[in-house]
Structure 1
Amino acid sequence: MAAAVGSWASALARAVVLAALVALAGLLVLCLVPQAFGLRADVVVSGSMQPRIAPGDVVLTAPVTPQELEPGQVLLFRDPADPGRTLLHRLVAFDARGDLVTRGDANQGDDPSPVPAAEVVGRAHLRVPHVGLPAYWWRTGDRGAAVLATALLAGVTVWATRRHGTGPEPARPGRHRTGPWPVPAG
């Protein structure tokens, strides 16, 4: 009886882990496939847009023209203070010159530099929560957490997908019979 309960519990645990792995794979596909259709996927690396968008989330953005820009939209744009970096903030208003006034949802004030419309990379369309956490940890220097998460994911994948002694034993080369009864030795 105890063996049956243990076997049942192990099968249930494997099923739960496999369901989680399938969900994670689905989220990864959700992040990667849209790139084939012109969307861009970026891992959020700061908390400036919390609570709606958190570090480690992946945000999919699509190109947007200056004429389509409206206050309230969440935009990905080149940082005026560091053009090699992008920011994901909300468009609050337009200034007198027509440049964008932006602000992170978690920030008390507007960003210090207005953003020219030409610097907008795209408008946010979809947030995929937590999928980018290992990349976030790696980028922020927490390499141990990134490696541990990757190793843990690999370990549970192997555990959940390996054969666990159920069903007939697979055939091995050189150990087959030609009929339902033993073949007499010569």
Structure 2
Amino acid sequence: MAAAVAAWFLWPTSLGGCTTITLVNGHSMEPTYYTGDVVIARCGDPQVGDVVVYEPPGYGSARVIHRIVGGTADGWVIQGDNNEFEDPFTPTDDDVVGVAALRVPRVGLAASALTNPWIWVSLIVLALALLVWPGRREEPDEADDADEPDESDESDEAEGRGELGAPEEVSGP
């Protein structure tokens, strides 16, 4: 039941639902929204004073998130909170995709980093460098080998044998 309610609230408009998720990019809505904020908008009846997401006609699927400062459902007057001028578009209710309902600050910065091609190129170069970087090999140093007796020499000396393995002669007093 909870999943059905969540799906109903989060079902995107692109699939016939009523929810639009918008990543804010730019300064026109500061201090209300900042670059990297994610705004969830729901369909509804926009009113003067509401922040809306709309698709300006002739710009494909581009979206603008600005505040309604006047007009009617036949043509809203829209302006960014940080702009001194009104938008050149007068979207109708049909152009409005949703009314802003929730802001999630800075979440979009991570998402935008993942879509940045320079980040991906850097990660690939780093992975390749780690893959082909020569490993550290421990090779015995020849000088160290000459100073250390090998194991067979130690056992021969312990048994009273010389280097050739023959018994050593010990002369007495």
Where does 1:70-89 land on structure 2 (aligned, <5 Å)?
70-89=47-66
- SS of 1:132 mapped into structure 2: helix
More helix, by proportion: 1
Where does 1:144-159 land on structure 2 (aligned, <5 Å)?
144=119
**Alignment partners' CA distance in 2, 1:82 and 1:113:** 11
Matched, 1:101 2:86: no
The structure with more radius of gyration:
2
TM-score by length of 2: 0.55
% of aligned pairs identical?
30
Cross-structure match for 1:50: 30
How big is each residue's C-alpha offset from its partner over 1:98-140, in whole Å with a ceiling of 9 and x where there is no partner?
301101111111001211221000000010000110223455x
What 5-or-longer segments of structure 1 have no aligned partner?
A: 1-31, 149-186
What 5-or-longer segments of structure 2 have no aligned partner?
A: 1-6, 12-16, 124-173
Where does 1:60-71 land on structure 2 (aligned, <5 Å)?
60-64=40-44, 68-71=45-48
Q: Report if the CA contact (8 A) 2:9-2:19 is conserved.
A: yes
Q: Report if the CA contact (8 A) 2:66-2:79 is conserved.
A: yes
1:91 to 65, 68, 76: 68
- SS of 2:84 mapped into structure 1: coil
Q: Report if the CA contact (8 A) 1:34-1:40 is conserved.
A: no
Runs of 4+ in 1 over 4 A off after TM superposition: none
TM-score by length of 1: 0.51
Q: How many residue pairs end up in the alignment?
A: 111
